[in-house]
Amino acid sequence: MGTGLRWAALAAAVFMLGACATHPAAPPKSGDAGPAEERPDPDVQRVVDGVRMIQQGHIQAAIDGPFDEVARRYEAQYGASKEKIFSARGTADALLYASLAVSAKPPFSARVLGPAWAMAYWGRGYAYNEMARYDDAIVELRKALALAPMDSQYKIELAYAYQQKRQWDESLALYKDAEANADLTTADVPEIKCKALRGQGYDLVELHRYEEARAAYRACLKLVPDEPRSLGELKYIDAVQAKGK
């Protein structure tokens, strides 16, 4: 993903994080994930502050400041919990995570928190990707997904880290999962699905699976007509196949 597209994605992330700036006043436990009165979440705002620091070029400061601050606060409070902790963006994924605990065999005790804890790990992962520290990014993004296993944004960022390590199969699987989960965890479903499809297309080209790559880019264009990167990649595939590569 080019630098311009990465910055565009980061700007979109700021918007989505701002939309998550409230969370249930009483986070639901398993079997109790109904609507609750919402209140502003200062921890989400701190993550937003960190993302803006990255935009301003202060990447390490964002890691050492807002992201570490939020992550450490939650680790201190919940790190030793005997309950399974989830970190949800909204009602849809909160209900899903609570239902996982109830429907498991045997059922387990779970608590669903607001989004800030997982977002802090995502923020560190994004920052490490920007610094080309992909192994560190993978560690942080795996932590985010342990708390929010259906989150498309976190899966896309993790897929990008594997993509930069040229681990195409791992990246492809995550992009496919991100596409499948987009309806649960994002307000901008077409854009997130298109981003996941573009990631699939890139990996499939690297795997020389050109027709599958073409289908992925075309699926993106159905969601976001005239999306420039998909159009450019389709031309690239045509050129490669014309040369018989």
Residue 181 and residue 154 in contact, taking contact as beta carbons nearer than 8 Å: no
**What tokens appear for 182 in the block?**
């987009």
Average pLDDT per consecutive 10 residues, the chain (245 residues; last block may be shorter): 52 52 43 47 96 96 98 97 95 92 88 97 98 99 98 98 99 98 86 97 98 98 97 97 81
Please count the other Cβ atoms lying within 10 Å of the Cβ belonging to residue 174. 27
What domains lie within the chain, and their CATH numbers?
A: 1-149 (no CATH), 150-245 (1.25.40.10)
Q: Is 113 helix (H, G, I), strand (E, B) or coil?
A: strand
Residue 208 and residue 192 in contact, taking contact as beta carbons nearer than 8 Å: no
Instruction: Look at residue 22 in the predicted model and tell me its pLDDT.
Output: 45
pTM summary value: 0.86
How many Cα atoms within 13 Å fall on the side-chain side of residue 40? 4
SS (H, E, C) 192-213: HHHHHHHHHHHHHHHCCCHHHH
